Amino acid sequence: MRSLVLVFLPFLALYLQSTLFRAISIYGVVPDLLLILVIFYAVFSGSNKGAVYGAACGLWEDLYLGRVIGVNAICKGLTGFILGRMQGRVFKDNVLVGVLGVLAGTAINSLLLLSISFLAVPGFSLDRAVWADVMLQGIYNVIISVPLYIWYFRSSGAGVLQEGLIR
């Protein structure tokens, strides 16, 4: 069941990002639900699993976008790996873990994405609009992360994301 949910969630996240959240975007910026999912998974499951799940989710996004395959896979994989270091070092029952994790994860993922774009895309400039987008997305991600973290935490303890649960 847990595996099925973990496969279904990225699908759902991408769907919501491209439809519902586009309708309620703030200055054209939408939250990165997929990234939030990767961060939560990494925080709960550790670096190695976080990296694999992050890369898989990123690859899924790359395939959906149909642009440069691998960019999001690398960025989300690395973000999952780094955020996975939190596993075993923080009290996960505190919602601040989720909030700070998402804030840090958004910063890491954005920096990686911008670095790759800066190096690989000719004429790409890191202007004020880019940083404004990054900051706005960070704020949006943090706001969304609060209810999502509570759900994720509860589901991991005694819900659909509980390890070893057979339903």
Binding site for other proteins (CB under 8 A): 14, 17-19, 22, 28-30, 32, 34, 61, 64-67, 72, 113, 117, 121, 123-125, 127, 129-130, 132-133, 137
Q: How far is the CB of 158 from other proteins (least distance, A)?
A: 31
- Nearer Cβ to other proteins (141/156): 141
In angstroms, rounded to a whole number, what is the distance separating the alpha carbons of residues 113 and 76? 9
* Residue 26: both structure tokens together: 């703030």
> With 0-12 CB in 10 A as exposed, 13-18 as middle and 19+ as buried, what is 58?
buried
Task: State in angstroms the smallest separation of the CB of 102 from other proteins.
Answer: 15
**Residues facing residue 29 across a β-bridge:** 26
Owner of token pair 């990123």: 58
Min dist CB 80 to other proteins, Å, is 16
In the complex, least distance from residue 76 CB atom to other proteins, rounded to whole angstroms: 11
DSSP of 35-53: HHHHHHHHHHH-HHHHHHH
> Which of 3, 19 has the CB closer to other proteins?
19
Q: In the complex, what is the shortest distance from the CB of residue 28 to other proteins, in angstroms, rounded to a whole number?
A: 6
Pair 51, 80: CB distance under 8 Å? yes
User: Would you call 26 helix, strand, or coil by DSSP?
Assistant: strand
* Beta carbon nearer to other proteins, 129 or 158: 129
When the beta carbons of 1 and 11 are compared against other proteins, the nearer one is 11
Nearer to other proteins, 100 or 136 (CB): 136
